[in-house]
Structure formats: structure tokens, C-alpha cells
């Protein structure tokens, strides 16, 4: 496994070792020892799996208390995955990093606690799976508007995205409550 940094040093792109032959492939999607050696020491308590159609944009979500670290991968199709740093003490506070994750490239994105997360589906449909370091807390969930001009995220959009009501009504970054 190779781990590289993104525009935000604490957000890591994980390149797993892929063993392929005529039968298919094998890879480790999580190895606690190898990840800890790469600076990612996480204990996961919840796995999530979503299916979305092309043009769906989910996010930018975060939790006020018990922020979630996430290890994200796309197991079918392709997505543009984004992390926004919401840690006030960070040198990259209110900056974003984005990477294309797909079933073809098998890359994973480590997003530590203290970040908002979202993704845009680039393929006809996509399945995204991610491990979380904290349980989902609907009472503390927040949403930053995906098109906030102060973030200027370079989403690779073709037309208007498909949004949930919650995501369409996301807060401006300036109005979003800070993570505790």
C-alpha cells in the first residue's frame, strides 16, 4: 500500500496493492497495522454503503459533536469525493481537497475527524462505501451548501446536480456552526 497526501496534508489518498490475474483481483481495503504505520490510526464503529445515480451530489455533511473520520472508497462506478477542513486550529481551515475515486482505480480517501464530506457521482451510477470512526448522530448533523462561493469547490459538474432537500438547503460556510 502507498499513502500520499492531498492538497490538505491530513487528508490521505490510499493506493492499495492490487493483485490481479485472469480470475480477477484481490486487495486489502483495511489493515490496521499498515495504516497506523502510514499515520492513520483509526478505530471504526460503523460502515456505510450508498448507491446513487449520475449527477447526484451528496454533502457537504459533518457532525458537531463526535465528528466522524471516514475511510471512503467507490466500489462501483466513479465519484469526485471532497473533504472540507473545519478544524479552526488547522493551517488549512476552510480549504478543500477533492479526488476521483472509482471501481477502476480502487483508491481510498482517508478523511480525519473535523472535516465536512461530500461526493458527486460521475458514472451512470456509483456505489460508495465508507468506514466511520463515530456513530451517525442525526441531532448533530450539519450540512454546508455544496456551492458555497467562499469554498469555490471545482465540482466536475455537467448540468445541475441532483440534491436531497437537506443538501439543497445547506448552510453557507460562514453560517455553519463550528465542530466542538
Name the residues annotated as catalytic.
61, 130
Q: Give the integer Cα–Cα distance in Å for 123 and 52.
A: 9
The C-alpha cell at 45 is 464503529
Cβ-contact 133, 32 below 8 angstroms: no
Question: What is the Cα–Cα distance from 166 to 106, expressed in whole angstroms?
Answer: 29
* Helix-, strand-, coil-residue percentages of the chain, each rounded to 5: 5, 45, 50
- Residue 74 to residues 26, 61, 91, 169: CA-CA distances in angstroms? 15, 18, 29, 26
Distance between start and end Cα atoms, the chain? 33
- Alpha-carbon distance 117 to 145, whole Å? 11
Amino acid at each position: 500500500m502507498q499513502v500520499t497526501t492531498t492538497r490538505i496534508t491530513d487528508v490521505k489518498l490510499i493506493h492499495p496493492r492490487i493483485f490481479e490475474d485472469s480470475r480477477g483481483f484481490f486487495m486489502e481495503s483495511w489493515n490496521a497495522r499498515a495504516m497506523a504505520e502510514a499515520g492513520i490510526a483509526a478505530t471504526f464503529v460503523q460502515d456505510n454503503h450508498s448507491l446513487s445515480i449520475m449527477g447526484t451530489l451528496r454533502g457537504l455533511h459533518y457532525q458537531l459533536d463526535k465528528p466522524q473520520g471516514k475511510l471512503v472508497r467507490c466500489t462501483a462506478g466513479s465519484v469526485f469525493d471532497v473533504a472540507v477542513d473545519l478544524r479552526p486550529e488547522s493551517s488549512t481551515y476552510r480549504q478543500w481537497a477533492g479526488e476521483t475515486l472509482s471501481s477502476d482505480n480502487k483508491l481510498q480517501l482517508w478523511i480525519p475527524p473535523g472535516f465536512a464530506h461530500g461526493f458527486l457521482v460521475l458514472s451512470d451510477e456509483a456505489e460508495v462505501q465508507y468506514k466511520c470512526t463515530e456513530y451517525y448522530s442525526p441531532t448533530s448533523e450539519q450540512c454546508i451548501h455544496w456551492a458555497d462561493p467562499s469554498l469555490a469547490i471545482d465540482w466536475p459538474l455537467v448540468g445541475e446536480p441532483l440534491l436531497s432537500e437537506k443538501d439543497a438547503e445547506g448552510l453557507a460556510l460562514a453560517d455553519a456552526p463550528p465542530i466542538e
